[in-house]
């Protein structure tokens, strides 16, 4: 997958994705910015064939899979693991910079 394809897919679902983690206390613009940074991380660190399997096609795809037993709120489990790993690395880096 190209960098643009990865970014388009992640940015398309980023408002719903990040608002779930931040419990709605984040603006749409901030969600899009986070989505672009996360897309860059995914493009650099995950193989293209894996990205094709785990990235949601669109927000409709997420909604349709929201009750699927192998998906986490409509997102592929591996996608959620990459997201939480990215969050914890960012938190660690921010903590180290603040010290």
The gap from C-alpha 52 to its chain's centroid, in whole angstroms, comes to: 14
Phi-psi region of 50 (alpha: psi -120 to 50; beta: other; left: phi over 0): alpha
User: What confidence tens digit (pLDDT) does each residue in 4-34 have?
Assistant: 999 999 988 988 888 877 776 788 888 889 9
Dihedral over Cα of 88, 90, 91, 96: its sign? positive
- Model confidence, pTM: 0.82
What's the confidence (pLDDT) of residue 53? 92
Number of domains in the chain: 1
- Picking from 86, 31, 84, 89, the residue whose alpha carbon sits closest to that of residue 59 is 31
What's the confidence (pLDDT) of residue 73? 83
> What is the residue range of 56's domain?
3-98
What's the confidence (pLDDT) of residue 43? 93
Q: How far apart are CA 47 and CA 50, in angstroms?
A: 5
Phi, psi torsion values for 74, nearest 5 degrees: 95, -5
Instruction: Identify the residue whose tokens are 């949601």.
Output: 56
Contacts of 48 (CB under 8 A, 6+ apart): 1
Max mean pLDDT among 13-17, 68-72, 80-84, 95-99 falls in 80-84
């Amino acid at each position: 997958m190209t960098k643009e394809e990865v970014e388009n897919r992640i940015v398309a679902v980023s408002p719903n994705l990040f608002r779930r983690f931040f419990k709605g206390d984040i603006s749409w613009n901030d969600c899009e910015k986070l989505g672009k940074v996360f897309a860059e991380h995914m493009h650099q660190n995950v193989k293209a064939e894996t990205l094709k399997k785990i990235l949601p096609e669109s927000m409709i795809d997420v909604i349709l899979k929201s009750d699927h037993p192998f998906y986490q709120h409509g997102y592929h489990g591996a996608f959620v693991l990459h997201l939480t790993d990215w969050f914890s690395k960012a938190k660690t880096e921010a903590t180290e910079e603040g010290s």
